[in-house]
Amino acid sequence: MVGVAISTMALVAVMSVFNGLEDLIRGLFSSFDSELQVTPTSGKSFVVTEEWLHALRQVEGVKVITEVIEDNALLDYRGNQHVARVKAVSDNYFEHDRFSKGYFWGDTTLGDSLRPGALLGRGVAFALSANLDDINSVLNIYYPKAPKSAASLDPNQLYASGQVEPRGFFSIEQGVDNEYVLVPLDFFKELLGYGQKRTALELKVDPEYSIASVQKAVQVQLGAEFAVKNADEQHATLIRTVKLEKLFVFLTLTFILALASFNIFFSLSMLAIEKKKNLAVLKAMGAKNALIRGIFLKQGALIAFSGAVLGLVLGLLLVGAQEKFGMITLGIASGVVDAYPVRVHWPDLAWISLAVVGITLAASWRPAWIAAQVDPVKEL
């Protein structure tokens, strides 16, 4: 029973850690990504008009629509150069509760039309050696363009350039920190010559509506030419990877539980051998094979259920202590969280209980069958 309880406790604890990591990933990306994202199914950009946006705003549950232009560009800051992903957003970008998690330094504004500003990921800022206190230095952004004449030798015709002021740094997730820079939409669309073209729209959903229902309504409104993705679908590969890791860890610990169940198998087998004479007496008194098997299966079930209940209780206590006190830390001084995040997912407990009970009962079946095969004539 102790082995079953310890294995069950380990399953509860490890599954809760994976659930916590999944929630942490969602929470971090929610500080940068939108609840719903609209992108074209083909091509890089699409044209928006005020009438088209107005019709989209009329969809029930759509609270905020942010226009986005996103592309790669070369950054230059005091001679330090770096290629980054520039994300230009409209003025209502911060109405999506941005940077609610992670770290942020500086001013959460993107300036104005006369003095546009930029928010840099921590990795980008480090690569450029950017300094928020240096008000005399600007960030130059270069974007390649086709020259007016193929025979032109003027290098200035090969790229468009603009200047922005570094206003702040953000740190959310390493991939985002090392890649992204936020700038005003009007500045970047003029630099790229995009006009009314956009690469994406980011939507915030009214809290009174479910994200799934609004996603479906927006998809119906826009049709098959656009893809409407929720937060998980925007990072489908990463979320799928975490879930696969969780599945493989569950299978691994279940296999260890199966190995631990050999103790139950051997214990009940030895019991069946030691009690042959007693079993022979029972059969001589008229006990059927089913009754003998039932005795041993019930003993296995008693071990299974008592071990499962004890393991679940210990596992929940361990998870609760980790959530409240953070006993096991990540060991990363500059991490977003200090200790391993945990969350109990109740369906996980059901699957764990089924696995524990199923494996233990399976381990009890062979000893029960052996006990039922006792011949009272030979033993007595």
pLDDT tens across 238-258, in order?
888 888 999 999 999 888 888
Mean pLDDT of 262-289: 83
Dist. CA 193–CA 188, nearest whole Å? 8
Longest dimension (CA), the chain: 109
Q: Does pLDDT of 44 surpass 70?
A: yes
**Where residue 135 falls among pLDDT bands split at 50, 70, 90?**
confident
pTM over cut 0.75: yes
Are 311 and 353 within 8 A, CB to CB? Answer: no
**Where residue 339 falls among pLDDT bands split at 50, 70, 90?**
confident
pLDDT at 336: 66
Crossing angle between the packed helical segments 346-372 and 2-30, to the nearest 10 degrees:
160
Q: Does pLDDT of 151 surpass 60?
A: no
Q: Which residue has the tokens 């073209």?
A: 197
Crossing angle between the packed helical segments 262-274 and 276-284, to the nearest 10 degrees:
60
Tokens coding 281:
């007496």
**In the chain, what percentage of residues exceed pLDDT 90?**
52
Tokens coding 377:
């004539």
Mean pLDDT of 352-376: 86
Q: Which residues have a Cβ under 8 Å from the Cβ of 337 and sit 6 or more positions away?
A: 24, 330
pLDDT at 244: 92
Q: Does pLDDT of 379 surpass 70?
A: no
Q: Which residues have a Cβ under 8 Å from the Cβ of 91 and sit 6 or more positions away?
A: 110, 184, 185
Coil vs helix vs strand at 110: coil
Q: How far is CA 1 from CA 73, 252, 295, 304, in A?
A: 62, 20, 17, 7
